[in-house]
Amino acid sequence: MEITKTKLLHEVRAVKREGELASIMKAQWIAEEVLRDVLKFLKTGITEIEIAEFIKKSFVQYGAPILSFSPIVAFGKSSADIHHIPNKTKLKKGDIIMLDFGTTVNHYCSDMTRTYFWGQPNAKQKKLYLDVLEAMNRAFICIGKGEKKAKVIDKVARGFLARKYKNNFAHGLGHGVGTVIHEWPSFKSKSEDVLPVGCVMTIEPGIYLKGFGGVRIEDMILVTKNGYKNLTNVPKDLEDVILGT
């Protein structure tokens, strides 16, 4: 009985009412404004900590000071660390830049990751980025066809990356977002979750190569009856993520 009650509670919380969705979308809009400010603030020699502090201060200025989680800012090889804590590493030409952050509006969270290149990426960096982007697009196509089984969607992206990078996609494809940053349901290979219409999910494939760097790209989507609506409006094609040239 308790399991049934818990499942019912999860499902009720997962489906967002109009006001709840509006708060999530506003939080995401503010995060996108902050990201644009961050990209202008980046420069060779700046540290991860300086960028993380800039992100926090920017959210205060936009009237959304309570973040969804501590910002992840990773330069170069540090981008291979999934939950990297910003340190005094300085940005240099040729680095991968990973930025993962979000904020809250009326207690509702946003979540977004973008990976950039400080200067022209090399062939291996380009391939890594394009493969992760392709995995994301395959998941979108699957959801767009009306698929609601979490493990089926996860497998589409995970299977594509597994053929190219052995066991380097070390987390689920995504998770629900609401008043907490990780909410039911979740995209995992063994998940039995079925996505309810009206839930907000992240899609965030990633590959992490120790000693080289990593790429993660993350959008938030609203699951609809016949597909999805992308709530993230930040470009992510390869030409859009090359900076500092």
> DSSP letter string over 131-163?
HHHHHHHHHHHHHHTT--BHHHHHHHHHHHHHT
pLDDT of 5? 55
Give the position of tokens 């502090």. 53
pTM of the full structure: 0.95
For the chain, the average pLDDT equals 95
Query: What CA–CA distance (Å, rounded) separates 197 from 225?
Result: 6
46: domain CATH number?
3.90.230.10
Selection from 66, 73, 70 nearest residue 88 by Cα: 73
**213: three-class secondary structure by DSSP:** strand
Q: Is the pLDDT of residue 2 over 80?
A: no
pLDDT of 150? 97
Residue type, 73: V
End-to-end CA distance of the chain: 60
pLDDT of 1? 44
Q: Is the pLDDT of residue 9 over 80?
A: no
Q: Is the pLDDT of residue 171 over 60?
A: yes
> DSSP letter string over 38-71?
HHHH--TT-BHHHHHHHHHHHHHHTT--SBSSPP
Q: Is the pLDDT of residue 160 over 70?
A: yes
pLDDT of 19? 97
Query: For 86-140, how does the pLDDT look when each residue is reduced to its tens digit (9 = 90+)?
Result: 999 999 999 999 999 999 999 999 999 999 999 999 999 999 999 999 999 999 9
Query: What CA–CA distance (Å, rounded) separates 219 from 53?
Result: 23
Range(s) of the domain holding residue 116: 2-243
Give the position of tokens 């992840």. 72
Query: For 20-47, how does the pLDDT look when each residue is reduced to its tens digit (9 = 90+)?
Result: 999 999 999 999 999 999 999 999 999 9
Task: Give the pair of three-digit tokens for residue 135.
Answer: 């995995």
Strand partners, 118: 243
- DSSP code at position 97: E
Give residue 240's pLDDT band: very low, low, confident or very high (50, 70, 90): very high
pLDDT of 4? 60
Selection from 11, 32, 21 nearest residue 229 by Cα: 21
pLDDT of 169? 93
The average pLDDT across 75-84 equals 97
The average pLDDT across 6-13 equals 70
The average pLDDT across 215-239 equals 97
Query: What CA–CA distance (Å, rounded) separates 125 from 76?
Result: 11
Query: For 53-68, how does the pLDDT look when each residue is reduced to its tens digit (9 = 90+)?
Result: 999 999 999 999 999 9
Give the position of tokens 């992308």. 230
Sheet containing 200-203, strands listed edge to edge, beginning at the edge strand earlier in sequence: 183-187, 174-176, 200-203, 219-223, 228-230
pLDDT of 245? 73
Number of domains in the chain: 1
